[in-house]
Amino acid sequence: MSQADNQGGQGKPAATPDLKHLSLLWALPEHAAEISRLHAGSFDEGWDAGAVTRLLLNPGSVAMVASAGVPPVIGAFILAQVAADEAEILTVAVDPVWRRHGVAARLVEGVKRGAARGGAQALFLEVATGNAAAIALYRKAGFVESGRRKDYYAHPDGTREDALIMRCALKSS
């Protein structure tokens, strides 16, 4: 995310909010623009607000945002889908100034609970093999490698990267 993408409404760099008072909320369609902004700042090909809204309106959607500050600011999100007895994390992103504060871990745990309540017995995800921080986060959350997708991710420079498929067994609620 560039400096310009990470600025508040007054053109000042965003400050790290007091994350001791972090709230995890179910993501709603009215959060789509903020989710889209965070996604675009974290991935080579960001999702627009329309695509995010469609995902949020899907009956199998399990999605959360992390909010902090006064007025509340959304600084992270996670989107997942439940289908039958399986769920998949589609994407997760955390604003750079919110990283390294356990926000993503809390979102992953929230989605694990939500997916289990939705009937999922296992939660899957794909992660780039070069994303060591995310792989460590998922391993700590109980995910194990269950496969690999060769050349799954395409980068702007034309290179390709494998994806690890990771799985976490969920406890029934």
The per-residue pLDDT for 3 is 27
Residue 7 domain flag = no
Placement of tokens 């289990």 in the chain:
116
CATH number at residue 45: 3.40.630.30
138 belongs to the catalytic site: yes
| pLDDT of 89 | 98
Residue 14 has what pLDDT? 54
Residue 56 pLDDT: 97
Q: Encoding tokens for residue 18?
A: 């007091």
- Structural domain includes residue 5: no
Tokens standing for 23? 């709230």
Return the half-sphere exposure (C-beta side, CA atoms, 13 A cut-off) of residue 55: 25
Going residue by residue through the chain (173 aa), what tens digit of pLDDT does each one get? 222 333 333 333 356 677 778 999 999 999 999 999 999 999 888 899 999 999 999 999 999 999 998 888 999 999 999 999 999 999 999 999 999 999 999 999 999 999 999 999 999 999 999 999 999 999 999 999 999 999 999 989 999 999 999 999 998 75
Q: What's the longest Cα–Cα distance across the chain?
A: 46
Distance between first and last Cα of the chain: 37
pLDDT value at residue 44: 85
Print the domain residue range for 121.
18-169
From the list 34, 88, 109, 138, the catalytic residue is 138
12 within some domain: no
pTM to 2 decimal places: 0.87
The answer to the question of residue 94 being in a domain is yes
Could you tell me if residue 84 is inside a domain? yes
Cis omega (within 30 of 0) on the bond before 17? no
Marked catalytic residue, from 86, 88, 109, 126: 126
Decide if 9 is inside a domain.
no
pLDDT at 15: 61
Residue 10 domain flag: no
pLDDT for res 172: 72
- Total domains in the chain come to 1
Identify whether 122 is part of a domain: yes
